[in-house]
Structure 1
Amino acid sequence: MPAFSVIAKIGAPGSADRLREIGRAPATRREPDNVAHAFATTGDGPADNLRRNLEYARSLAEAGNLLNRLQAGSFDPDDMFRAAWTQAVTALDWWVAQEVRARILDLVAEDGTAVPDRLRRKEIPFAVLDDVRSGTRSVAEAVAEHFLDGKFSRQSYQGHEAIGEGFGLVLPSTTKLWPSVVKVLNEQAPGGTDSTLASVKDRLTEVAQRRHKIVHEYDSAPDQPSGRNPINYKETLDAIQWIDTLTSAINEVITRS
């Protein structure tokens, strides 16, 4: 958030000492265990990074709600909700990319493991094959450099089709991702739900398209008094929680398969 557009008195006990602690050299600085980092990748597994990034999205939403209650006239709290929404969808996107990448490399590393048909059909140039034959690169290095760090790394995983195609590379051909996800969602929900394939895909499309609107169109809405689409704390938290629930269901499906 713009630093100079919000000025607030810091009155919590020990604030000066805490600021001095934070300002110490990085080599000696001690950060609390619950520090959230935007779009964090720390070397942990994909699930750890997803959890961290969704928690950061929630903290942005909480900050917006606090600003709303404080009625900070120099800053629009809705922008914190928009930032939280964007963070949550990006967390989903990055998690899928990390999961698929890790699983492809696992398949390459495991001798005798059946490679899913979609992954088997991916093309690798003869030049890369020659490098593998000559020992210049290992098979894992060739796959990582040519495929995973090339076209694959530029793929976005925010819509249901892209997510299905991504996990289709690493799931057995007998596993249908989205029907299986819907089944898990209905099993895990307290008291059961009536989620359907259409409702899950529609909700994902709605959440992803709102992120696109925020990022690429300034959330513009000429028919609104503010000139932007309204957004609030509750709907933002609902979107973050829905992504959390959805990714949990997807993770269960891919772990079982």
Structure 2
Amino acid sequence: MTPNPKPDTDFPWWLVILLITGAVMFYEVASSAVYAAALNTLLKGVTITIVVAVIAYLGACLIGLGLAMMGLSRFVVLRQIARLYIEVMRGIPIIVLLLYVAFVLAPALVAVVNWLLEPLGLDPWRTRDFPLIARAVIALMLAYSAFLAEIFRAGLQAVDKGQIEAAEALGLNGWLRFRHIVFPQAFRLILPPLGNDFVAMVKDSSLVSVLGVSDIAQLAKVTAAGNFRYFETYNVAALLYLTMTIGLSLILRQLESRLREKTTR
């Protein structure tokens, strides 16, 4: 009996179908004034979408890595703080967290800053001076850091303890062990889920439209409300998101394959 081929060796018919569909869509955009107008408008939001996703993801990675190391600490207080944060953030819907950060946490931070500035005689900071895009980035950062913390924790725990003990025997301190032994091996394991979460971040960045941030989703909503061409406008929005997410997925697959080849050599 012939074994079934591995999924990675299957011909990517799904990609062919998407390319054909995308080509048809791009033809419609090029030949239709309505599609072209929608595309020209929504392209202005691509930069905002990318900036929000990249900054929020990098911040979430730093916080998540810190939380993972706290969760693996020998101090019970640090472990409990990390677990409390992770469970709370994972239990709150991202859109609720966006609204909470934007309209509860941001004014509270402004009040704290003004309290600190008052003795210095400086002008008070107004809540409207806190940009909505910054509030959105903070909310996404806080939300995703909890999920990334679990990914980092699993990757760090997967490293063979024998190699860590060997590094200790060679006299490497904790930082050198982490830098040269633990993290390089853990990174190969956590790259696929990290990549998947970045793609998810690009999609979830559309939630910032509820704050009025001019990303793709917000511009699509405003454009469709103005010209009543919902079908064409949201087709273009979907096409832009698909182009970004599928492009990122293909890049990540290539990176994973190269890392896998280096590991097997």
User: Highest relative contact order (Cα 8 Å, sep 6+), 1 or 2?
Assistant: 2
Identify whether the pair has TM-score above 0.5, normalized to the shorter chain. no
Using the size of structure 2 for normalisation, the TM-score is: 0.29
Using the size of structure 1 for normalisation, the TM-score is: 0.30
